[in-house]
Amino acid sequence: MIGADVVNAFRVSLGFLVVFGALPWLVALNSRREHALMGHCTAFMRTALFTEIVTVVLGSMGLCLPGSVGAAYVLFLFALMFRSGTLRHLRNTHWLSAQLHKLILLMDRRVSAGEHLQSLRIRYVSWRRRFDPTALAPFRGICWFAVFVAFAACFYPLHQVRFLHGVSYSRTLALQKLSLGQSSPQDGSVALLAPVVFLSGCEGATVVRFAGPLFTAVLALTTSLVLFQLTGSSAIGMVGAGLVAGFGAFADGGQLQADGIASIFVLLSILLWRASRLDAVWSMAAGLLIDPIPGLGMIWYAGIPLVIALLVLSCRSLSRCLAMIRVPIALTGIACLIYLPTKLGGNEGPYQYETAARAMSRIIRELPQNTWLVVSPVQELAFTYGHGWHMELSNFVNKYNVDEVIQPDFHFGFPVMDTFVFVEKRPLVSRALGLSLSELGTRFEPAIAPYQLRLSRASLEFEAGRLLAAYRARHSDVQVFVEDENVIVYRIRSSSGGVRPWT
């Protein structure tokens, strides 16, 4: 874990809290709802659904950019405020004059800092009085548990830069494309994260890395709320949340993917069913937008709380038993979130070496945008997109040969200031790679097939290593940027004095 990772986690959390915390709170303030809990759940669902639809629609036009998304949010809030009557004062000129008069009086009075603090304190006390402590008591433990889940699930991304799932790379690439106004395949789970990218100022890879754990915490919270609603017991809610967190650690390594995120909205639809059928249907629609073809993961995530609720409702004595073991289950869930992802990932892989991912992160952080080129397998493209240029290792190997690069007057001639070539000294071997195409099964993708087969990958890496060794023997512009027992990253400085025609 390095300082930059902690800062990035903080930035993403801040963006996430604004999009999925502050905005729903504003929506709840401008919506009429008798039940506070239902009101906040509805506001969260509506905000998420609005975000989903807006980013997908704007993305299809290449307009999913900070300005347009921000304007959409402002319009959304204004529409809600208009409907709720909050804006009616603005049309009242007498009210406006009175406000101006108050401001003038305030300026003329020159209130001291002490008086300001006193006034703030009074406001804070009156705000606190709006909440009934006894009504909030059952949720205190649940909320703390969700916070701990978030911290525990962040343990892996704070220590490792690489992803555990192949789909995370494609989601990262899609998110980068979407947030840069490029055409990209529509991915509902990614569309939700575009505003977080804009607010946090972090690149897609970092947002995907840290948003997964935060969604895990939201899922745990939703599970406990659903169970509380169905069984009336916060202890049962805690048990369900602990089990879901544990399952999330097993299935996704604590980094929730599309099916897990969609489960949040499926569970919300159950929660909202009694209060408003329409909102429940909208919530289900949001879930389907995020993951249109529900898989086994979603069935598990949504099934665990429902089965618990059924069991508890059919056998009341089970409720007491579960309540007694709620703390061990919760602690086990948190322990799983800390321990399992590192075991799942192993020391390296399954899709790239940690050294390669860290080298990429360093290049992005340290070098000016679009002044460098990375030659590597396809996984690094998710990190480079929008920051620099990327060339597939297979293309590089096919384009050059040893006889050519060994010439003293040969130069690669890439129109960038720095070229980084990633070579695996020990070609990656992991469960994600296969020995033959048939072994890959559904994981087979024609575009990246050369990197999915162990022999093919080893051959490419060997050839790249040979090319660079030959080039380095006759050229002085090559440096080793990063090296360990698995990977070596060469840095080739431009011989054209930093001319950047690509930019």
Residues near other proteins (CB under 8 A) are: 61-63, 65, 67-68, 71, 100, 103-105, 107-108, 180-182, 201, 368-371, 386, 500, 502-503
* Closest to 256 measured CA to CA, from 222, 291, 213: 213
Instruction: In angstroms, give the least distance from the CB of 19 to other proteins.
Output: 16
Q: Which is nearer to other proteins, 232 or 415 (CB)?
A: 415
First to last CA, the chain: 33
* Shorter beta-carbon distance to other proteins: residue 64 or 256: 64
Judged by beta carbon, residue 100 or residue 429, the one nearer other proteins is 100
| Shortest distance (Å) from residue 100 CB to other proteins | 7
Q: Which of 63, 351, 391, 393 is nearest to 205 (CA)?
A: 351
| Residue 331 C-beta: closest distance to other proteins, Å | 37
Burial label for 382, CB within 10 Å (0-12, 13-18, 19+), is buried
- CB of 306 closer than 8 Å to CB of 298: no
Q: Which CB sits closer to other proteins, 493 or 500?
A: 500
Nearest to 455 by CA among 434, 426, 483: 434
Q: What is the per-residue burial (b if ≥16 Cβ within 10 Å, else e) of 87-98?
A: eeeeeeeeeeee
Q: Is 125 exposed, middle or buried (0-12, 13-18, 19+ CB in 10 A)?
A: exposed
What number of other Cβ atoms are within 10 A of residue 456's Cβ?
A: 16
Q: Tell me how far, at minimum, the Cβ of 120 lies from other proteins, in Å.
A: 21
Residue 418: left (phi > 0), alpha (psi -120 to 50), or beta?
Answer: beta
What is the nearest approach in angstroms of other proteins to the Cβ of residue 370? 5
263: which 2 tokens? 């489960």
- Of 186, 246, 192, 198, which Cα lies nearest the Cα of 219? 246
DSSP assignment string, 351-370: SS-HHHHHHHHHHHHHSPTT
- Amino acid letter, 106: L
Least distance to other proteins, CB of residue 39, Å: 32
Q: 372 pairs with which residues across the strands?
A: 418
- CA 342, CA 159: separation in Å to the nearest integer? 9
Closer by beta carbon to other proteins, 13 or else 229: 13
CB 396 within 8 A of CB 378: no
Q: How far is the CB of 64 from other proteins (least distance, A)?
A: 10
Q: Please, which residue, 10 or 124, has the CB nearer to other proteins? A: 10
Query: Residue 57 or 65: which CB sits closer to other proteins?
Result: 65
Round to whole Å and give the CA distance between 387 and 390. Answer: 10
**Nearer Cβ to other proteins (48/363):** 363
Q: Least separation, in Å, of the C-beta of 9 and other proteins?
A: 15
Element (H, E) at 487: strand 487-493
Residue 466 and residue 402 in contact, taking contact as beta carbons nearer than 8 Å? yes
Q: How far is the CB of 32 from other proteins (least distance, A)?
A: 30
Q: Which is nearer to other proteins, 411 or 500 (CB)?
A: 500
**Bridge-partner residues for 390, per DSSP?**
374
Of residues 10 and 144, the one with the C-beta less far from other proteins? 10
Of 327, 179, 167, residue with least CA distance to 255 = 167
Report the phi/psi class of residue 188: left, alpha or beta, with left for phi > 0 and alpha for psi in -120 to 50. alpha
Closer residue to other proteins (CB): 21 or 62: 62
Residue number with CB closer to other proteins (276 or 371): 371
Question: Which of 71, 310 has the CB closer to other proteins?
Answer: 71
- Closest distance to other proteins from the beta carbon of 110 (Å): 9
Q: Within its chain, how far is the Cα of 153 from the centroid? A: 12
Compute the least distance from the CB of residue 421 to other proteins, in Å. Answer: 21
Question: What is the closest distance, in whole angstroms, from the C-beta atom of residue 180 to other proteins in the complex?
Answer: 6
**Closest listed residue to residue 419, CA positions, set 352, 348, 475:** 475
**Cα 259 from Cα 5, distance rounded (Å):** 26
Minimum CB separation from other proteins for residue 479, in Å?
Answer: 22
